[in-house]
Amino acid sequence: IPPLVGAGTRFLVAGTALYAFARVRTGERPTPTQWRGAAVVGIFLLFGGNAGVAWSEHLGTPTGIVALIIALVPLWFALFDRVLLRSAPLGWRLATGLVAGFAGEALLVGGSAAQGDVPLGGMLIAIGASIAWATGSLYARNAPLPRAPLLGSGMQQLAGATLILAVAAVTGAFAGLHPGDVSAASWLGLAWLILAGSFVGFSAYLWLLRNVRTSLVGTYAYVNPIVAVFLGWLILDETLPLRVVVAAAIVLSSVALIVSVGGTTRTDSGRVDERRPEVEAELGFEG
């Protein structure tokens, strides 16, 4: 399955189902302003972030290196939030983490490009995807979205899917799709991404963005790169040179330092760290 076609199909199916379910269960009708907010989030997170990762790997970037690049998302969080938005003073620990993180990334990307074993274009796309994901995540914290997160998730996935599939059509990606030649494993993989990645994972991520500290949301960056590097080496026979190991240690250490500093929370409507008791209603399960 071509990467853009697969990504667009995944979010189209999940977005349609979530939107229909949440509309029926909550009765909430999105406003044009909420659709615009959902479109911005969907474009940054899904088109820029998720589809960017898929395209980077399609160009031949090893999954482990892509995961390490995406691990920089907490660094972009901190850079945009503290430096550009000036939400709080930078501080020496955060500054040290930023410098170390980008040094590790330079070692990873520059060294891999110099060796010629990893496509530079693929790595640059992955870096762009990490920036897009961080940008969309920060915007989503206070974006004008529906009260029911499942409804907002469906809208964002529909918006992202629309752009991804449009780009796939313009670039001729559908010409490479031959359903009869797609293996059962690929179909099962797509189904898994729809169920676990889009229905559960993406919706949960959006809820966390709007309800807990950014530093806590960023803790996923500890686990994903380690798992991806190990599985890429174990299953896909991807090489694991010492340079990548050292860069991974630097990047993950910098992420740990940055996450330990803490982050901001969503503050619109007076919501900071308080949790509303109507969790079922907020998730779109109210009767």
Least confident of 8-12, 156-160, 187-191, 254-258: 254-258
Q: Which of 66-75, 137-146, 275-284 has the lowest mean pLDDT?
A: 275-284
Mean pLDDT of 210-222: 69
| pLDDT value at residue 281 | 41
Q: What integer pLDDT is reported at residue 265 of this predicted model? A: 44
* Domain contains 70: yes
Q: Identify the band that residue 279 occupies on the pLDDT scale cut at 50, 70 and 90.
A: very low
Please indicate, yes or no, if residue 282 is contained in any of the structural domains: no
The answer to whether residue 48 is domain-embedded is yes
Is the per-residue pLDDT at 144 higher than 60? yes
pLDDT in tens, 3-33: 888 889 999 999 999 999 999 999 899 999 9
pLDDT of amino acid 285: 38
pTM of the model: 0.76
Please check whether residue 287 lies inside any domain of the structure. no
pLDDT mean over 68-90: 77
**Assigned token pair, 68:** 């390490």
Q: Rounded mean pLDDT of the chain?
A: 79
pLDDT in tens, 181-192: 888 888 898 898
- Per-residue pLDDT at 131: 93
Instruction: Tell me whether residue 285 is in a domain.
Output: no
**Residue-range definition of the domain harbouring residue 90:** 3-264
pLDDT of residue 287: 38
In a domain, 219, yes or no: yes
pLDDT top residue among 42 and 208: 42
Mean pLDDT of 62-78: 80
Q: 20 lies in a domain?
A: yes
Q: Number of structural domains, the chain? A: 1
Instruction: In whole angstroms, give the CA distance from residue 226 to residue 66.
Output: 11
The whole-number average pLDDT for the span 202-208 is: 86
DSSP string, the chain: --HHHHHHHHHHHHHHHHHHHHHHHH-----HHHHHHHHHHHIIIIIIIIIHHHHHHHTT--HHHHHHHHTTHHHHHHIIIIIIS--S---HHHHHHHHHHHHHHHHHHHHHHHHTSS-HHHHHHHHHHHHHHHHHHHHHHS----SSHHHHHHHHHHHHHHHHHHHHHHTTGGGG--GGGS-HHHHHHHHHIIIIIIIIIIHHHHHHHTTS-HHHHTTHHHHHHHHHHHHHHHTS-----HHHHHHHHHHHHHHHHHHHH------GGG-SS---S-HHHHTT---
> Between 227 and 42, whose confidence is greater?
42
Residue 272's pLDDT is what?
Answer: 37
| Bigger pLDDT: 216 vs 188 | 188
- Confidence band (pLDDT; 50, 70, 90) for 79? confident
Burial class (CB in 10 A: 0-12, 13-18, 19+), 37: buried
Q: Would residue 143 count as lying in a domain?
A: yes
pLDDT of residue 111: 64
Residue 268 scores a pLDDT above 50 = no
The region of weakest confidence among 15-29, 52-66, 143-157, 272-286 is 272-286
Q: pLDDT for 113-139, tens place per residue?
A: 666 667 888 889 999 999 999 899 889
* 195 or 258, greater pLDDT: 195
